[in-house]
Structure 1
């Protein structure tokens, strides 16, 4: 694969992830309509699936998440917070979702939908641990937290499915038209 081909493919993947990350700012503008309708799971899965250099699969989506988090924190709190303690589990989920994306070898509707569903369940289980003061730090508190999160996770599932369709479908369509976007293993087939 030529250097030009690598740069073109990576540039398109990065731009798609950055565009998805920017949508988080749009959804924050309408929190009651788009509450948790977010591309974060799709960004992680997409990066994991398409970057041939796996370190980029983690770094690029994490940077997009981190930068959009800074702006979201400012939007909600009025201060330029880097990261708060409640977002640690979101980053743990995000890294796990990128890892899940590395197992998507062929982007089919079934593979991507299954990965999206698994990512949302993982997000639900990790990010709704009763770590703050809202719920008791017991098994019952965890159950209460999980139940309260169902509407938000439903929106996240819809968001992941929509953004996975856009990211994966868009990139697959682009690959079918432009060979510079194909990986070496795809050209050999």
Structure 2
């Protein structure tokens, strides 16, 4: 185990998670890119999930403490979606290339969009957050839920492409500069 490599990967993830505290459009966050990045680069599969999820949980906790908007009833669905994104990183980015990272970033956005919009359709009682709406449990409700999420999907795709480029690009440049970060 290369402790310098693991520490660098973790530091990049923590720095990316901290960017959630800068003003940004809805869904333009580093979270999917963090899950992809962890999945792609941590050879220890537990670490591939643990470090990104710890960063997410810590930043959600900080958001809750600072703004009251960090925790919500949909967290299990959101975290489950990001677990699938980590799997995309693990299996889809065994060989990291620009095209694969960009494809994985868009796939991550779509996975998150499809799962979370369907999940927020499901609750029987109106959700406390009026932005999430309340939809009937039929085809019309499903379509309405996905239509309402389209502006967020655009931000998600742009954010995932941006942050994936920053995370993967930064680590690529660091690997070129510091041999200790490269796998043997």
Where does structure 1 lack aligned partners over 5 or more consecutive residues? 185-189
Identify the match of residue 111 of structure 2 among 108, 112, 122: 122
Aligned residue in 2 for 1:163: 163
Question: Shift of residue 71 of structure 1?
Answer: 2.0
Please say if 1:106 is aligned against 2:86. Answer: no
What does residue 88 of structure 1 align with?
76
**Alpha-carbon distance in 1 for matches of 2:150, 2:67:** 22
How do 1:43-58 residues align onto structure 2 when only pairs under 5 Å count? 43-58=34-49
CA RMSD of aligned residues (A): 1.6
CA 1:73–1:141 in structure 2 vs 1: closer, same or farther (change >3 Å)? farther
Q: Secondary structure at the match of 1:102?
A: helix
Structure 2: gaps spanning 5 or more residues = 127-133
Partner secondary structure for residue 141 of structure 2: helix
Please state whether the residue corresponding to 1:85 is helix, strand or coil.
Answer: coil
For 2:64, the equivalent position in structure 1 comes to: 73
- Following superposition, the deviation at residue 148 of structure 1 comes to 0.5
Cα deviation code 1:156-184 (max 9, x no counterpart):
11111111111101101111111110112
Q: CA deviation at 1:143?
A: 1.4
- Residue in structure 1 matched with residue 180 of structure 2 by the alignment: 180
Cα distance, 1:88 vs structure 2? 1.4
TM-score normalised by L of structure 1: 0.85
Q: Distance in 1 between matches of 2:65 and 2:136?
A: 28
Deviations 1:123-161 (A, max 9, x none): 001111203321122232121111111111111111111
Q: TM-score, normalised by structure 2?
A: 0.88
Aligned residues: 172
The question of 1:24 aligning with 2:24 is answered: no
Pairing 1:7–2:8 present: no
